[in-house]
């Protein structure tokens, strides 16, 4: 998912930065990277470069054969185009993404590797001793003024970093252990990228690295691989159509190894960027649930999916256990009661069934108690009380977070015609979220849900966002505050501090005054000020 977000952002950046590509960027990039004969980054004549196919093919195939180990080569190849174009093109186009990547160290294993490679941007070494890069380097040097430091564009710098990594691949001693694998991957990816000699290439290699990160990396850039495979691999890609690649991706994803699945998930996510994010995550998780990904490198969706399946299994198992125990008791009861009278037998049966029911309930209460954090109550009633409160707070928290993520994540979702209204609506959501975010810690202790409700003024704001019943009193005030917060951020009038406090309604009111930039929202706010 993190990678998916990066891809989405870079894609957006790419689209905005480059207007040279009339066709959809994804398709374009895919074609660009993988069109064997002519790896043109933007499918434009200006950038198209024709690399001798056999060279690129051989190099790529050879490297790939080594890394992948022959089995999932198509998988990797398929993964590459989807992931490479969007992210790397975006990165090449936008330097801002680089610091983003560098900062994003909490990603999965391959992602971290991915980022580490990005950081040493200026490390460019001209060691063209690597066999793999021999054909590539001259091309690269020709195109990018060599690998010297301070490359003019981020893409070239990134490319240089990749080059350096590939160079390092041949010389392991120079690289830290953690990065040794990367150069190998890079060497493998270098060939197609270098051949293209474009930002798209860099993107490709960048993505190729994570894709191949899972694979054993003994790639030394040798050319010993059988070139025969390369044509097939490339041909799959040469198709160029995004849909085709997607199909190949999906197929490869279905049959890929666990690690491949993780990457494939990212790639499939990337390919389905236009679709809803949830769908992608679901797809990814569904793909990966069947496998056993590594702990550190598994994507969040996969881990969540796995956990969910585990919990489901536990629930089913517990239910089965209960039923079995109940059946066992049922069988013993009649045998025992047969000796006594009917009444005693019925009473005994009743007692047994009652006991069974109570045991079941107690068991569930115990499991519920385990779920609730900091629950030291032994009394059933108080424990249930706490469970109810915890459940409500959880509902609230999830709703707020979903609102926040919905507001922050798709900034381009709102049609331009809507103007500031959706922003205001989202701001309102955030406003709702802020007070409750502060109040959530109180909620866990059993505090009232509308702690901060009265603190917010009620304005004549509409309520585009439907809030749960638990927050009736805060609705208007919260919306008001949220919109004010939104504008506060942009007005830079020093009222941003209110966001953290969220309890000083006076400040919030004052902050509204400078907010006159948005006519639509200001009209709504003017009521309160």
CA distance 275 to 425: 23
Query: Shortest gap between Cβ of 440 and other proteins (angstroms)?
Result: 4
CA distance 500 to 497: 6
Identity of the residue, 64 or 280, whose beta carbon is nearer to other proteins in the bound complex? 280
Identity of the residue, 140 or 390, whose beta carbon is nearer to other proteins in the bound complex? 390
CA distance 44 to 187: 26
CA distance 264 to 497: 42
Query: Shortest gap between Cβ of 334 and other proteins (angstroms)?
Result: 23
**Residue appearing with tokens 């400078």:** 514
CB burial string 367-403: b at 16+ within 10 A, e below: ebbeebeeeeeeeeeebeebbebbeebeebbebbeeb
Q: What is the DSSP string of 243-257?
A: HHHHHHHHHHHHHS-
CA distance 156 to 145: 9
Query: Shortest gap between Cβ of 69 and other proteins (angstroms)?
Result: 32
Identity of the residue, 80 or 372, whose beta carbon is nearer to other proteins in the bound complex? 372
Query: Shortest gap between Cβ of 521 and other proteins (angstroms)?
Result: 16
Q: Which residues contact residue 233 at a Cβ distance below 8 angstroms, ignoring those fewer than 6 apart? A: 57, 60, 61, 64, 73, 74, 77
Go through the chain and tell me how many residues it has. 529
Identity of the residue, 122 or 489, whose beta carbon is nearer to other proteins in the bound complex? 489
Identity of the residue, 154 or 383, whose beta carbon is nearer to other proteins in the bound complex? 383
- Side-chain-facing half-sphere of 73: CA atoms under 13 Å: 25
Identity of the residue, 103 or 342, whose beta carbon is nearer to other proteins in the bound complex? 103
Query: Shortest gap between Cβ of 337 and other proteins (angstroms)?
Result: 23
Query: Shortest gap between Cβ of 527 and other proteins (angstroms)?
Result: 23
Query: Shortest gap between Cβ of 370 and other proteins (angstroms)?
Result: 9
Which residues sit at the interface with other proteins, rule CB under 8 A? 1-2, 5, 9, 100, 103-104, 106, 281, 300-301, 304, 307-308, 311, 315, 319, 357, 360-361, 364-365, 367-368, 371-372, 379-381, 384-385, 387-388, 390-392, 394-395, 397-398, 400-402, 404-405, 408-409, 430, 433-434, 437-438, 440-441, 485, 488-489, 496-497, 499-500
Query: Shortest gap between Cβ of 268 and other proteins (angstroms)?
Result: 18
Query: Shortest gap between Cβ of 355 and other proteins (angstroms)?
Result: 13
Identity of the residue, 281 or 461, whose beta carbon is nearer to other proteins in the bound complex? 281
Query: Shortest gap between Cβ of 367 and other proteins (angstroms)?
Result: 5
3-state helix, strand, coil in the chain (%, to 5): 70, 0, 30
Identity of the residue, 433 or 477, whose beta carbon is nearer to other proteins in the bound complex? 433
- Side-chain-facing half-sphere of 3: CA atoms under 13 Å: 40
Q: What is the DSSP string of 139-153?
A: HHHHHHTTT-SS-SS
Contact 77, 237 (CB under 8 A): yes
- Terminal Cα-to-Cα distance of the chain (whole angstroms): 42
Sign of CA dihedral 41, 46, 50, 56: negative
Query: Which stretch of DSSP H or E encloses residue 148?
Result: none
Query: Shortest gap between Cβ of 395 and other proteins (angstroms)?
Result: 6
Identity of the residue, 50 or 506, whose beta carbon is nearer to other proteins in the bound complex? 506
CA distance 419 to 388: 41
Identity of the residue, 251 or 359, whose beta carbon is nearer to other proteins in the bound complex? 359
Identity of the residue, 30 or 429, whose beta carbon is nearer to other proteins in the bound complex? 429
Q: Which residues contact residue 93 at a Cβ distance below 8 angstroms, ignoring those fewer than 6 apart? A: 10, 13, 14, 17, 18, 154, 155, 199
CA distance 341 to 89: 85
């Amino acid at each position: 998912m993190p990678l998916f977000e990066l891809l989405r952002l870079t894609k957006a950046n790419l689209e905005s930065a480059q207007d040279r590509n009339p066709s959809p960027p994804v398709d374009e990039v895919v074609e660009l990277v993988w069109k064997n004969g002519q790896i043109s980054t933007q499918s434009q004549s200006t950038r198209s470069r024709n690399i001798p196919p056999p060279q690129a093919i051989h190099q790529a195939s050879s490297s790939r054969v080594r890394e992948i180990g022959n089995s999932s080569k198509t998988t990797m190849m398929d993964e590459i185009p989807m992931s490479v174009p969007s992210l790397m093109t975006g990165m090449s186009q936008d330097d801002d993404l680089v610091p983003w990547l560098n900062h994003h160290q909490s990603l999965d294993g391959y992602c971290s590797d991915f980022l580490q490679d990005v950081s040493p941007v200026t490390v460019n070494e001209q060691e063209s001793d690597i066999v793999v890069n021999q054909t590539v380097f001259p091309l690269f040097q020709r195109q990018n003024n060599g690998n010297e430091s301070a490359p003019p564009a981020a893409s070239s710098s990134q490319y240089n970093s990749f080059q350096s990594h590939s160079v390092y691949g041949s010389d392991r001693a120079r690289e830290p252990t953690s990065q040794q694998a990367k150069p190998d991957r890079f060497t493998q990816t270098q060939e197609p990228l270098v051949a293209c000699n474009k930002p798209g290439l860099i993107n490709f290699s960048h993505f190729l690295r994570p894709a191949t990160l899972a694979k054993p990396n003994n790639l030394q850039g040798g050319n010993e691989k059988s070139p025969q495979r390369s044509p097939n691999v490339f041909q799959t890609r040469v198709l160029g159509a995004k849909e085709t690649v997607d199909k190949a991706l999906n197929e490869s994803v279905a049959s890929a190894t666990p690690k491949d699945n993780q990457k494939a998930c990212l790639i499939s996510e990337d390919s389905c960027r236009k679709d809803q994010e949830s769908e992608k995550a679901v797809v990814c998780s569904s793909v990966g649930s069947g496998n056993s990904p590594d702990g550190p490198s598994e994507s969040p969706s996969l881990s969540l999916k796995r956990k969910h399946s585990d919990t489901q299994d536990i629930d089913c198992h517990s239910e089965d256990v209960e039923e079995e125990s109940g059946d066992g008791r049922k069988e013993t009861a009649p045998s025992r009661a047969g000796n006594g009278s009917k009444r005693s037998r019925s009473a005994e049966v009743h007692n047994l069934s009652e006991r069974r029911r109570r045991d079941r309930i107690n068991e569930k209460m115990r499991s519920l108690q385990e779920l609730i954090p900091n629950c030291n109550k032994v009394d059933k009633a108080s424990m249930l009380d706490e469970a109810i409160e915890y459940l409500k707070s959880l509902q609230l928290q999830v709703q707020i977070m979903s609102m926040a993520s919905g507001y922050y994540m798709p900034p381009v979702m709102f049609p331009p015609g809507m103007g500031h209204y959706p922003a205001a609506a989202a701001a309102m959501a955030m406003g709702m979220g802020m007070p409750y975010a502060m109040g959530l810690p109180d909620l866990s202790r059993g505090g009232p849900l509308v702690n901060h409700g009265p603190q917010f003024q009620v304005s004549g704001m509409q309520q585009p966002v439907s809030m749960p019943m638990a927050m009736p009193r805060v609705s208007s005030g919260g919306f008001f505050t949220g919109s004010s917060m939104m504008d506060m951020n942009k007005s830079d009038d020093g009222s941003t501090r209110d966001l953290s406090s969220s309890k000083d309604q006076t400040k919030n009111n004052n902050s509204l005054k400078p907010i006159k930039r948005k006519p639509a929202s200001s009209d709504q706010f003017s009521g309160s000020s």
